[in-house]
Structure formats: structure tokens, C-alpha cells
Amino acid sequence: MASATPSAPPAPARAGVSVRAPGRLHLGFIDPSGSLGRRFGSIGLVIAGFETELELARAEHDALSADTSAAEAELERAAQHLRLLREHSGRHEPLALRLRRVLPPHAGFGSGTQLALAVGCAFARCHGLALDTPTIAQWLGRGQRSGIGIAGFDAGGLLLDGGPGRDGRPAPLLSRIELPAAWRVIVVLDARARGLSGDAEREAIAKLPPLPQAAAADISHQLLMRVLAGAADDDFAAFAAGLNRVQQLLGDHFAPAQGGSAWTSAAVGRLMSFWGDHASASAALGQSSWGPTGFAIVPSAAAAEGLIEAARAAGAVDAALDLRVVSARNRGALVSALDAR
């Protein structure tokens, strides 16, 4: 892990700060029901190519602006984060916030957490406050189930957390591994659908029957001895077999909250089923969080191109789907001083 991260004690206060926070894929919970003694725990992967970017600077009066319509839709949420940060810190100097771009909301990229942490990190840097990322997350109500977005903001990589702490602090990070450089991720987006979030997500989880203890134990074994071990040892076959098993177990568990399907988007589900039938041994397939985003992790760029070409040739790619090939991102948020540009 890098020795200097966005959560390190900041340098003297800056007049303005730019933050670029990475998107992540949530690859699954370990034990959402706590059948083995501790609830949740999760695994996730930070990816390149998807970011929330903002600028925060001292100003004569408060101001909010956005560069895109998607960013404009997140301004009120960003303003609420600033209000909470001021309440907790006691700092009320006027600030100008500019949202340059945002992650797709409610799509499985952790957009809410990354926006909150980016605002919080910029706020701390502008005021010279020594706030670490878990503290910012706790102030802003993030990380109540998964700690992947928080750890990803700091460090990137393939991450495993141990579930929320007893004191209300975000989940501790148990493992961080950098994926082999050649591996690629096909990200499959369906802009027509949205995954669950907020109260709807909490209600859906509460209505589900407990995940059986045997399933939680199976997931634990798959993650430890196949997914993490495979990533650390550049053994793609073990990694893919383990993650596919985890996604199968969790897909079956969460299906009742998704209309009886493991997939929020039917179009994404059809594509993943095609790849599962034709490339189950050479790809790790799944849905990020509540979707609708799907993913296929493969051992190389050539493998990614081959999967996409085969699916298009077979007519398995819905015209509305957006397919992007990206790499894992083995670093966290990029933070820079505006007055240093």
C-alpha cells in the first residue's frame, strides 16, 4: 500500500483542492446475515476509467456548480455533505464547489460513497484538518455495510473487508492485493435500469431470509483459497472459479429482491448467461452490488476482445448496453492543490 494516501494528515490548508475518486465493483458479501458471527464483510475491486471529480476552493460566498447534467443532479447531495462536515468540524468558511463529473448513480460503482469521500477529503485539505478517510465516512454516514469504497478511495486494488465494526466505525480492511497487470475487466452498463439504494436497499435486505451458514462458509473458503490466492499468485483459473461460485451463491440469495433473478437488468443477464455458457472457465462473471452493472474479469485484453466479438456475432449484446474494457486500478483517489497547477 502506498505510504501517502488521501487519508494521511494533510499539509497546511490549501486555497483549493481537486479530487478524483475512483469507481469500484462490489463483488459480493461474505456473510450478510451474520450466521458465522459477524455481519457482511465484502470483496470489491477498484477499476480504472470511472471517476467522480470535483474541485473545492475558498470563496467570498458559498457557490455550487456542475459541468454536466449528471453532476448537477448530485449537487444537493454534495451540499448536504458540506453541511455535515461543517457541523462536525466547526469550520464554516465560504467555499465554492464544482462537480466536474460523477460516477453513474445507483449502478454498482459506489457513487454515493465516492462523492461523500471526495467532498470530505477536499474539505479537510482546504482547512488543513487531519481527518482520515474512515472518520470522514463515519461523519457522512457511509460504509454502514461495506468498507470497500472507503478502502478503495485510499488505496485501490482488490480489497476484502471484515464487516462494520462494533463501535460504528467502517469495516476494517483485511486484505489488499494488486491484480496482475494483464488482467482486464469488461464493464457492462445498462442506463435503463437502477440498482437498489438507501431505504429500499435496507428494506430489501431485511426481508430476505438469512443466508445459510453453509453458504457463508463456502463463500469464505472461495474468497480466501481461490479468489485472493489466485489474484496473489497470478492463477486466473482459480480466481475465476472462486468468484463465479461466490456470485452464484449470492445471486441465488438476493434474487427474491430482484424480481426472482440474479440480474437487475435482463439484458445484462442475457449477456452474462451467454458468456457463462461459452467461456465459464475463462472469465469471472457477475453483477456489481445491486446492479444493473455486470462485469467479466478476464486474463488479458485479447480475451476481453474475444468475448465481446463472440457475443456480438451471436446477437447476445443488446443495442442499449454499453461495454467498456478497463483495467484494475491499484491506487486510490488523486488529490492535488488547485493553486499548485
Domains in the chain: boundaries:
16-177+330-340, 184-326
**What's domain 16-177+330-340's architecture?**
2-Layer Sandwich (3.30)
Residue 320 · residue 267 · CB < 8 Å: yes
Please identify, in words, the CATH class of the domain defined by 184-326.
Answer: alpha beta
Residue-wise over 210-239: b if at least 16 C-beta within 10 A, else e?
ebeeebbeebeebbeebbbebbeeeebebb
pLDDT of residue 5: 45
Instruction: Give the closest residue to 210 by CA, choosing from 44, 26, 42, 39.
Output: 39
Secondary structure of the chain in the HEC alphabet?
CCCCCCCCCCCCCCCEEEEEEEEEEEEEEEECCCCCCCCEEEEEEEEEEEEEEEEEEECCCCEEEECCHHHHCCHHHHHHHHHHHHHHHCCCCCEEEEEEECCCCCCCCCHHHHHHHHHHHHHHHHHCCCCCHHHHHHHCCCCCCCCHHHHHHHHCCEEEECCCCCCCCCCCEEEEECCCCCCEEEEEECCCCCCCCHHHHHHHHHHCCCCCHHHHHHHHHHHHHHHHHHHHCCCHHHHHHHHHHHHHHHHHHHHHHHCCCCCCCHHHHHHHHHHHHHHCCCCEEEECCCCCCEEEEECCHHHHHHHHHHHHHCCCCCCCCEEEEECECCCCCEEEEHHHC
pLDDT of residue 163: 95
pLDDT of residue 197: 85
Integer Cα distance of 123 and 56 in angstroms: 7
Report mean pLDDT in 10-residue bins for the chain, 341 residues.
45 86 98 93 98 97 97 98 98 97 97 98 96 96 93 97 86 96 98 89 90 97 98 98 98 95 97 91 94 98 97 97 98 88 46
pLDDT of residue 341: 46
pTM: 0.93
pLDDT of residue 9: 52
List, for residues 69-82, the tens digit of each pLDDT value: 999 999 999 999 99
